[in-house]
Amino acid sequence: MTTLLFSHPASLGHDTGPGHPESQARLGAISDALAADAFRDLKREVSPQAGLEPILRVHPPGYTAAIEDVIPEKGIIYLDADTPVSHGSWEAILHSVGGGVAAVDAVMHGHADNAFVVTRPPGHHASQTNAMGFCLFNNAAIAARHAQAAHGAERIAIVDFDVHHGNGTQAIFWADPSVLYCSTHEMPLFPGSGAASETGTHGTIVNAPLAHGADGFVFREAIESVVLPRLIAFAPDLVIISAGFDAHWRDPLAGLNFTEADFAWVTTQLMEVAAHCCDGRIVSLLEGGYDLVGLGRSTAAHVAALMGKC
């Protein structure tokens, strides 16, 4: 099993300011966790800088230009109450998008079985024309459109287990029968979307909301009864994971009670589906996770599973 890890130091240049949960320290926690001996054989690549072409497949030129133009020369500007940008944010964005694009290229060309992209800012709350919830561009959506445009993939599945619903990803693919979006998330919780009744124009939106306090048993039941059957029936050419680890019991921004073992388990389940449907092709993209201890441990469990060590 060959797993590629994509990262870039530009992600540290996206400065969100003191006390913001989506901080540079998140990457330090992940780096420390993946420095363990168990990951000695993990192949690591530098996330390249993306051009505008993959971004414009999802976000219109006016929105893309507006984000670039608002980047300050110094200090921090808030686009909403939660979403800041700093001088280094644009370069971080381009390398975050570029990591997803490069990961798709690697798995579609067979250079790796799967890949994990450890960059920031995250993306699943970003719609085509709105930044919100720490997110500026939708990395998962861009990766999906790149797989279709550059590699001829006909069906893409995006599975999102972040504790917050990926409202941006859902909105982007609401009326697109070629992309299946499946999400487990706490509800009610920010951003307020993600009811089971939200199914999209073609029934390709699959939401499995979880109540506050739900643990790994409830999560596993939802994955097995709701997500996996739809994923298998859809038979994707590529599986993209929006890998948020803020459903961990230690996380301060939500109230689910997952453990590292739950993240390893769901990863292996998705790998089994991918092995059956699309020669194991998986691209995983970092989303949330704001307790540094929980994030490090959960990410290590996720990557170990991707490497076939679970």
Q: Please identify every residue annotated as catalytic.
A: 125
Residue 277, C-beta contacts closer than 8 angstroms, at least 6 positions apart: 231, 232, 235, 236, 237, 239
Q: Compute CA distances 49 → 96, 106, 213, whole Å.
A: 8, 15, 40
123 three-state secondary structure: coil
Reading the block at residue 102, the tokens are 């490069």
Q: How far is Cα 202 from Cα 194, in angstroms, rounded to an integer?
A: 16
Amino acid in position 167: N
Name the one residue in this structure whose structure tokens are 């133009």.
69
Amino acid in position 52: L
Reading the block at residue 235, the tokens are 């038979």
User: Is the sign of the CA dihedral 228, 234, 240, 243 positive or negative?
Assistant: negative
Q: How far is Cα 216 from Cα 291, in angstroms, rounded to an integer?
A: 18
Amino acid in position 79: L
Q: Which of 79, 82, 271, 58 is nearest to 169 (CA)?
A: 58
Tally Cβ neighbours within 10 Å of residue 249.
16
